[in-house]
C-alpha cells in the first residue's frame, strides 16, 4: 500500500503544482522564478520557469540604471571593495581573520545582560512609533549624562535619539549644508563624516592630525583652512582610527577658533568610556556656552551594542542664533518618524548603574590586555611604528616608506588578504593623505590576535624581500 502511494506521489505532486499554477494567489509571472519546493524527490521547481520579456520596448535602447551623481565623491572603504573580495573568498571556503571593523559582539564582547534583559521586557511596548526625537526616559537619562560631563544648559528638547550615531551624522550635516559649504574634517577621519558632508552637497576640507604629536589636531593647519564658507568643524575625540585622546588645552583652542569664526562644533564622542591607562575624557561641549555644539554618542561601543542601533545627539551652547538650523534638525527627525523603539529602551539602563566597560579597559581587563599585546606585536615588526592608543579599539600603524614602498594601499590590503587571509583597512580608507598606514582592530582574543599579527609580520617580511629590503 505504502509502496503504491510512493510511486504515485510524483503524479499527485505534479497535479497539485498544475492547480497552483492556475490559482490567482500565485500570479504566474511573479512567482515562477522564486518558488522552489523541497520535496521528497529532491529540489523541484514549483512552476516551469517562464522567461520574462527582455525589458526592451521595440526599437528603444535599454536604459542603464545608474547611481546618483550625489554619490560621486562618497566613499566608505571600511566596508568597501576589499571587504567585498573577502566575502568572495569566504564563499569559496577560505577562513578570513577580520581586523577591519569595530563590531564588538562578533569577538565575544557581549552587551551587558541587564541591558539585554530590559530591552526584552520592554519589547511588547516597542511596536509603535515613538515621539520623533525619542522616548522621554532615555532622553532624560541622556540629559543626566550631559550633566555628569558638565555640559551646560541641556534640556530634554535638546536630545535626539537615532538609529545609531551614523544616522544622526547624516541628518545633522544634511540639515546644515548648502552646496559648496565647507566643513573641517580631520585626516585621518572616521570616513562617514567626509562621506556625509559630500552627500549633503558640502565640501569636506581635511585638517591634519599630526602623528608626531600623538595624532593631535594641528591647530595651525585648522586656522589655515578656515574660509568664509566654513560652517563647522568635526572633532572625533576619542579618535577612530588613531586612538588619540585630546587634552583640555587643545580642545579649548578648537573652541576658541569655533567662537572666533562662528563655526558649529560636531563632537563625535562615541568612545568616551573606552579609555586606557586611567585617562579621563573631557566633552568639548563642556568648555563653552557661547558656541554651538552637537555632541554624538551611543550604545555601540561603550556598551558593546552596535546592532541595537541606539545613538543620540545633544544640541548645546549657543542655541539662540541656531533656531532655523534646529528647525531643520526637527524636520529631518520627523521625516524618519523615530529611531527604533527596542534600542531606545536599552539606553536608560545602560547609562545608569554599573559600568562594565571599566572592567574591560582597567588593569587586567580584556581590552587593555589586547591593546598592549597588539601594540607589542605590531611594533616588533621591522619598519612598523605606532602611536599607542589611549582610547577606542584601533591601532593605526605606519609602515616606513623606505622599507615598504607602497604605491597603492588598497592594492596592499588586497595582497595581504590574498596571501595571509587577514582583512585590514588601508589608510586611504580614512582619507589619510599617504599610503603608509593601515588600521586594525584589537578585538580578537589574544590567541587570534597573535595569529593575525603573525600573519601580517610574515606578509611584511615577504614584502621587504620582494623589494630587496630584507
Ligand atoms: N563615530 C565613530 C567615530 C565611529 O567609529 C563609529 C563606528 O564605528 C560611529 C560613529 C558610528 O556609530 P553607530 O554604531 O552609533 O552608528
Query: Which phi and psi (to 5°) does residue 207 adopt?
Result: -100, 145
Which atom belonging to ligand 1 lies closest to the Cα atom of 301?
Answer: 14
Give the count of alpha carbons within 13 A of 226, CB side only.
18
Q: Measured in angstroms, how far is the CA atom of residue 250 from the centroid of ligand 1?
A: 23
The Å distance, Cα 295 to ligand 1 centre, comes to 13
Mean pLDDT score across all residues of the chain: 89
What percentage of the chain reaches a pLDDT higher than 90? 79
Q: Is the pLDDT of residue 188 over 50?
A: yes
Q: Using CB atoms within 10 Å of the CB of residue 207, give its burial: 0 to 12 exposed, 13 to 18 middle, 19+ buried.
A: buried
Choose the weakest-confidence range: 2-6, 83-87, 259-263, 425-429: 2-6
The mean pLDDT of 47-57, rounded to a whole number, is 54
Å from CA of 163 to ligand 1 middle: 11
Query: Cα separation of 293 and 314, whole Å?
Result: 8
How far apart CA 222 and CA 217 sit, in angstroms, is 8
Are the C-beta atoms of 238 and 269 separated by less than 8 Å?
yes
pLDDT at 15 over 80: no
CA-closest residue to ligand 1 atom 5: 240
**Given pLDDT bands bounded at 50, 70 and 90, which one contains residue 468?**
confident
298 within ligand 1 shell (Cβ under 6 A)? yes
What are 101's three cell numbers? 571593523
Is 243 touching ligand 1 by the criterion CB < 6 Å?
no
Tens-digit pLDDT profile for residues 362-410: 999 999 999 999 999 999 999 999 999 999 999 999 999 999 999 999 9
Q: From 106, 166, 297, give the residue whose CB has the most ligand 1 atoms within 8 Å, as the site to mutate.
A: 166
Pocket flag, ligand 1, residue 300 (CB < 6 Å):
yes
CA triple 312-287-170, angle to 5 deg: 30
Whole-number Å distance, alpha carbon 61 to ligand 1 midpoint, is 43
* pLDDT tops 80 at residue 139: yes
Give me ligand 1 centre to Cα 251, in Å.
21
Return the residue matching grid coordinates 526625537. 133
46, pLDDT greater than 90: no
Per residue, the 3-state secondary structure of the chain, as one string, reads CHHHHHHHHHHHHHHHHHHHHHCCCCCHHHHCCCCEEEECCEEEECCCCCCCCCCCCCCCCCCCCCCCHHHCCCCCHHHCHHHHHHHHHHHCCCCCEECCCCCHHHHCCCCCHHHHHHHHHCHHHCCCCCCCCCCHHHHHHHHHHHHHCCCCCCCHHHEEEEEHHHHHHHHHHHCCCCCCCEEEEEECCCCHHHHHHHHCCCEEEEEEEEHHHCCEECHHHHHHHCCCCEEEEEEECCCCCCCCCCCHHHHHHHHHHHHHHCCEEEEECCCCCCECCCCCCCCHHHHCCCCEEEEEEECCCCCCCHHHCEEEEEEEECCHHHHHHHHHHHHHHHHCCCCCHHHHHHHHHHHCCCCCHHHHHCCCCHHHHHHHHHHHHHHCCCCEECCCCCECCEECCEECCCCCCCCCHHHHHHHHHHHHCEECEEHHHHCCCCCCEEEEECCCCHHHHHHHHHHHHHHHHHHHHHCCCC
- Would you say the CB of residue 164 lies under 6 angstroms from ligand 1? yes
**Closest residue by CA, ligand 1 atom 8:** 102
| Cβ of residue 236 lying under 6 Å from some atom of ligand 1 | yes
| pLDDT number for residue 470 | 66
| Phi (first) and psi of residue 163, to 5 degrees | -80, 75
With a 6 A CB cut-off, is 268 part of the ligand 1 pocket?
yes
Ligand 1, closest atom to CA 166?
16
Query: If you measure from the C-alpha of residue 129 to the centroid of ligand 1, how many angstroms do you get, rounded to a whole number?
Result: 24
Closest CA to 363 of 304, 278, 271, 273: 278
Q: Is the CB of 168 under 6 A from ligand 1?
A: no
The answer to whether the CB of 239 is under 6 A from ligand 1 is no
| CA–CA distance, 322 with 331 (Å, rounded to integer) | 14
Ligand 1 within 6 A of CB of 166:
yes
pLDDT computed for residue 49 by the predictor = 52
Helix axes 446-466, 366-379, angle to 10 degrees: 20
Least confident of 76-80, 158-162, 192-196, 328-332: 76-80
State the closest ligand 1 atom to the C-alpha of 306, by its place in the atom list counted from 1: 14
Contact 427 CB / ligand 1 (< 6 Å): no
Cis peptide upstream of residue 188 (ω within 30 degrees of 0): yes
The verdict on the CB of residue 211 being under 6 Å from ligand 1 is no
Residue 298 alpha carbon to ligand 1 centre in Å: 8
pLDDT at 51 over 90: no
Is pLDDT at 274 greater than 90 in this prediction?
A: yes
pTM, two decimals, is 0.86
User: In this predicted structure, what is the pLDDT of residue 80?
Assistant: 75
What distance lies between CA 92 and its chain's CA centroid?
A: 27
Cell 568664509 identifies what position? 228
270 C-alpha to center of ligand 1: Å?
6
The cell 537615532 sits on which residue?
162
Atom nearest to 165 CA in ligand 1: 15
Report CA(21)–ligand 1 centroid distance (Å): 49
Copy the grid coordinates of residue 188.
585621518
Distance 166 CA to ligand 1 centre (A): 6
Q: Ligand 1 centroid to 289 CA: how many Å?
A: 26
Ligand 1 site, residue 82, Cβ cutoff 6 A: no
- Are 396 and 152 a contacting pair, CB within 8 Å? no
Give the C-alpha separation, 333 to 322, whole Å. Answer: 16
Q: What is the mean pLDDT of residues 290-297?
A: 98
Looking from the CA of residue 392, the nearest atom of ligand 1 is 5
Amino acid at each position: 500500500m505504502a509502496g503504491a502511494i510512493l510511486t504515485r506521489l510524483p503524479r499527485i505532486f505534479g497535479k497539485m503544482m498544475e492547480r497552483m499554477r492556475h490559482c490567482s494567489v500565485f500570479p504566474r509571472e511573479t512567482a515562477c522564478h522564486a518558488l522552489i519546493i523541497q520535496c521528497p524527490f529532491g529540489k523541484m521547481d514549483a512552476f516551469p520557469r517562464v522567461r520574462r520579456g527582455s525589458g526592451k520596448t521595440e526599437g528603444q535602447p535599454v536604459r542603464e540604471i545608474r547611481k546618483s551623481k550625489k554619490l560621486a565623491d562618497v566613499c566608505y572603504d571600511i566596508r568597501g571593495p576589499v571587504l567585498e573580495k573577502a566575502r568572495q573568498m569566504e564563499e569559496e571556503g577560505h577562513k578570513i581573520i577580520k581586523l577591519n571593523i569595530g563590531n564588538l559582539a562578533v569577538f565575544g564582547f557581549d552587551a551587558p545582560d541587564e541591558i539585554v534583559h530590559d530591552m526584552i521586557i520592554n519589547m511588547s511596548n516597542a511596536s509603535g512609533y515613538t515621539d520623533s526625537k525619542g522616548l522621554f526616559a532615555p532622553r532624560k537619562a541622556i540629559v543626566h549624562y550631559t550633566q555628569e560631563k558638565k555640559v551646560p544648559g541641556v534640556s530634554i528638547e535638546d536630545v535626539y535619539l537615532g538609529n545609531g550615531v551614523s544616522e544622526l551624522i547624516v541628518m545633522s550635516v544634511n540639515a546644515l549644508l548648502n552646496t559648496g559649504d565647507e566643513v573641517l574634517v580631520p585626516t585621518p577621519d572616521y570616513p562617514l563624516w567626509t562621506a556625509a558632508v559630500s552627500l549633503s552637497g558640502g565640501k569636506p576640507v581635511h585638517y591634519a592630525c599630526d602623528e608626531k604629536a600623538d595624532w593631535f589636531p594641528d591647530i595651525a593647519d585648522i586656522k589655515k583652512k578656515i574660509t568664509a564658507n566654513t560652517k563647522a568643524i568635526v572633532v572625533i575625540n576619542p579618535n577612530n582610527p588613531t586612538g588619540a585622546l585630546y587634552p583640555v588645552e587643545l580642545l579649548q583652542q578648537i573652541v576658541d577658533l569655533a567662537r572666533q569664526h562662528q563655526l558649529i562644533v560636531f563632537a563625535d564622542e562615541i568612545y568616551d568610556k573606552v579609555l586606557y591607562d586611567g585617562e579621563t575624557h573631557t566633552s568639548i561641549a563642556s568648555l563653552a556656552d557661547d558656541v554651538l555644539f552637537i555632541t554624538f554618542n551611543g550604545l555601540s561601543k561603550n556598551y558593546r551594542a552596535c546592532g541595537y542601533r541606539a545613538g543620540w545627539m545633544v544640541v548645546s551652547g549657543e542655541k539662540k542664533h541656531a533656531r532655523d538650523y534646529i528647525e531643520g534638525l526637527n524636520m529631518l527627525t520627523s521625516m524618519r518618524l523615530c529611531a527604533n523603539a527596542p534600542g531606545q529602551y536599552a539606553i536608560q539602563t545602560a547609562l545608569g548603574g554599573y559600568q562594565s566597560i571599566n572592567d574591560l579597559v582597567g588593569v587586567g581587563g580584556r581590552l587593555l590586555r589586547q591593546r598592549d599585546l597588539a601594540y607589542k606585536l605590531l611594533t616588533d615588526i621591522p619598519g612598523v611604528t605606532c602611536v599607542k592608543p589611549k582610547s577606542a579599539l584601533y591601532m593605526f600603524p605606519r609602515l616606513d616608506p623606505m622599507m615598504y614602498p607602497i604605491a597603492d594601499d588598497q592594492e596592499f590590503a588586497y595582497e595581504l588578504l590574498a596571501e595571509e587571509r587577514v582583512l585590514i583597512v588601508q589608510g586611504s580608507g580614512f582619507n589619510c593623505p599617504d599610503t603608509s598606514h593601515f588600521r586594525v582592530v584589537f578585538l580578537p582574543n589574544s590567541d587570534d590576535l597573535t595569529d593575525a599579527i603573525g600573519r601580517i609580520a610574515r606578509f611584511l617580511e615577504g614584502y621587504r624581500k620582494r623589494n630587496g629590503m630584507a
